[in-house]
């Protein structure tokens, strides 16, 4: 049942997704399996269309967005491209509620790249890191900061503009992980202007795994010499003289070998669907439904870990249950209600296929199963 689908923080669904995926995969099979030379023209055009859809979501200039397998890889691509002296001996700042994978990556990279990873802690009993604590720890020796726009465990949204402004004043490179908000909440890489942005297409855009993106601000690109480079990093991939490698002037320098286009072309119908929607209406539906879940959680006395004000949250409602969330998730699943859990946190994110009666089902299910 789609009515009670609440997993947009994980995988987004839209009406017709299965048919679109089946069609595009069949088209790919026909093109790729044909004994002719039409493959690359077809595949690369779709990859370019995927990138253009993302440029639309980000308001990013041409030549500033490319594909990555996922967020973790995109962060790795950026960090290993920076001039070594930008990072060595300095701090890289993240919040304790960043996506753990970024933290896992950075703790390892600091050994080789010579920076110190500084993780801003949560206050006692708080489920998120306060912006003012992040700002207080952000000095001039911070070479780079990664801001997580919307948290994956609380759906708390940071106040991006003052953080980015502070980063500018400190001379830091400021990147933002927009995975949990992209496609639901308006975002613009130029306002406030960030140095890089990373995301995947899985959530509000309803794409497939493997379809991550990296945006790098055009003014930072010339300083970047990606470590993972190859023939596709060049202005002309067919320039094969061994002594004449050169980086493309734009984001293409972050490409390396033959691009893995399949995730991009599989996600393109979802991105096209998303682009054709009334984004205000998508958000309004989410706001109406999350407000109802929040009000019901309050009435039930459940421990809400998502901030209530609309401008302080993403598209999810997260509840801290008395015990592990897994048993409640199982009980809800048995009633046709799709949620998930992280430890004691139950996560519920309504999107386009979630109906108001699906929200009623969730609320009734929570009354039965979540109150301990």
Ligand X SMILES: Cc1ncc(COP(=O)(O)O)c(C=O)c1O
Cβ–Cβ under 8 Å, residues 208 and 307: no
Q: Binding string to ligand X for residues 130 to 159, with x set by CB under 6 A, is what?
A: ------------------x---x-------
Kindly tell me which residue out of 67, 70, 338, 354 binds ligand X, with binding defined by CB under 6 A: 70
| Dist CA 204 CA 290 (whole Å) | 15
Kindly tell me which residue out of 67, 72, 208, 338 binds ligand X, with binding defined by CB under 6 A: 72
Of 167 and 314, the one with the shorter C-beta distance to ligand X is 314
DSSP string, 99-158: -HHHHHHHHHHHHHH--EEEEEPPPTT-SS--HHHHHHT--TTEEEEEEESB-TTT-BB-
Alpha helices in the chain (DSSP H): 17-32, 39-58, 71-79, 84-87, 100-113, 131-136, 160-169, 262-275, 279-300, 325-334, 356-369
Of 148 and 208, the one with the shorter C-beta distance to ligand X is 148
Of 152 and 172, the one with the shorter C-beta distance to ligand X is 152
Of 50 and 99, the one with the shorter C-beta distance to ligand X is 99
In the complex, minimum distance from the CB of residue 347 to ligand X, in angstroms, rounded to a whole number? 10
Beta strands 116-120 and 91-95, pairing class: parallel
Q: Does position 71 bind ligand X by CB under 6 A?
A: yes
Contact partners, residue 106, CB within 8 Å, separation at least 6: 75, 79, 92, 94, 117, 146
CA proximity to 347, closest of 311, 316, 372: 316
Q: Does position 289 bind ligand X by CB under 6 A?
A: no
Of 183 and 212, the one with the shorter C-beta distance to ligand X is 212
Q: Binding string to ligand X for residues 21 to 60, with x set by CB under 6 A, is what?
A: ----------------------------------------
3-state SS, one letter per residue, for 184-233? CECCCCECCECCEEEECCCCCCCCCCCCEEEEECCCCHHHCCCCCCCHHH
Of 71 and 164, the one with the shorter C-beta distance to ligand X is 71
In the complex, minimum distance from the CB of residue 236 to ligand X, in angstroms, rounded to a whole number? 31
Q: Near ligand X by CB under 6 A, which window of 47-55, 66-74, 327-335, 353-361?
A: 66-74
| Dist CA 270 CA 83 (whole Å) | 36
Of 196 and 247, the one with the shorter C-beta distance to ligand X is 196
| Dist CA 61 CA 193 (whole Å) | 12
In the complex, minimum distance from the CB of residue 307 to ligand X, in angstroms, rounded to a whole number? 16
Kindly tell me which residue out of 64, 154, 155, 179 binds ligand X, with binding defined by CB under 6 A: 179
Of 94 and 304, the one with the shorter C-beta distance to ligand X is 94
| Dist CA 45 CA 253 (whole Å) | 18
Return the CA Rg of the chain. Answer: 21
Residue 213 pairs in a beta bridge with 67, 199
Neighbours of 325 (CB within 10 A): 22
Q: Near ligand X by CB under 6 A, which window of 52-60, 83-91, 177-185, 259-267?
A: 177-185
Q: Does position 177 bind ligand X by CB under 6 A?
A: yes
Question: For ligand X, how many residues bind (rule: CB under 6 A)?
Answer: 12
Q: Binding string to ligand X for residues 209 to 228, with x set by CB under 6 A, is what?
A: ---x----------------
Cβ–Cβ under 8 Å, residues 220 and 65: no
Of 179 and 233, the one with the shorter C-beta distance to ligand X is 179
Among positions 95-114, residues that touch ligand X (CB under 6 A) are 99, 101
Assigned token pair, 190: 């130029």
In the complex, minimum distance from the CB of residue 183 to ligand X, in angstroms, rounded to a whole number? 13
Kindly tell me which residue out of 66, 154, 155, 180 binds ligand X, with binding defined by CB under 6 A: 180
Cβ–Cβ under 8 Å, residues 190 and 214: no
Cβ–Cβ under 8 Å, residues 57 and 183: yes
In the complex, minimum distance from the CB of residue 203 to ligand X, in angstroms, rounded to a whole number? 7
Of 215 and 369, the one with the shorter C-beta distance to ligand X is 215
Assigned token pair, 86: 């930008």
Residues forming the site for ligand X (CB under 6 A)? 70-72, 99, 101, 148, 152, 177, 179-180, 200, 212
């Amino acid at each position: 049942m789609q009515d009670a689908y609440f997993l947009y923080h994980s995988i987004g669904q839209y009406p017709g997704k299965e048919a679109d995926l089946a069609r595009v995969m069949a088209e790919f099979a026909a093109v790729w399996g044909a004994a002719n030379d039409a493959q690359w023209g077809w595949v690369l055009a779709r990859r370019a269309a995927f990138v253009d859809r993302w440029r639309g979501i980000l308001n990013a200039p041409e030549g500033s967005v490319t594909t990555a397998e996922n967020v973790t890889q995109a962060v790795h691509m950026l960090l290993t491209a920076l001039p070594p002296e930008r990072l060595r001996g300095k701090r890289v700042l993240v919040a304790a509620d960043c996506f753990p994978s970024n933290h896992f990556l950075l703790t390892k990279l600091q050994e080789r790249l010579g920076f110190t990873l500084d993780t801003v802690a949560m206050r006692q009993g708080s489920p998120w890191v306060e912006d003012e604590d992040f700002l207080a720890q952000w000095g001039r020796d911070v070479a780079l900061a990664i801001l997580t726009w919307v948290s994956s465990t609380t759906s708390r949204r940071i106040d991006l503009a003052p953080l980015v402004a502070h980063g500018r004043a400190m001379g830091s490179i400021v990147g933002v992980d927009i995975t949990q908000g992209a496609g639901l909440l308006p975002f613009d890489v130029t306002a406030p202007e960030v140095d890089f942005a990373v995301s995947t297409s899985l959530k509000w855009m309803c794409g497939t795994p493997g379809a991550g993106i990296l945006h790098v601000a055009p003014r930072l690109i010339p300083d970047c010499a990606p470590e993972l480079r190859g023939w596709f990093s060049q202005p002309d991939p067919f320039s094969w003289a061994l002594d004449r490698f050169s980086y493309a002037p734009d984001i293409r320098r972050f490409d390396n070998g033959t691009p893995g286009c399949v995730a991009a072309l599989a996600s393109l119908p979802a991105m096209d669907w998303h682009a054709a929607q009334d984004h205000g209406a998508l958000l309004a539906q989410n706001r109406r439904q999350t407000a109802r879940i929040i009000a019901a959680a309050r009435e039930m006395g459940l421990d809400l870990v998502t901030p209530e004000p609309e401008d302080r949250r993403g598209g999810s409602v997260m509840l801290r249950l008395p015990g592990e969330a897994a048993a409640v998730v199982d009980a809800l699943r048995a009633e046709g209600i799709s949620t998930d859990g992280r430890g004691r946190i139950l996560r519920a994110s309504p999107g386009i296929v979630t109906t108001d009666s699906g929200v009623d089902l969730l609320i009734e299910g929570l009354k039965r199963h979540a109150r301990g």
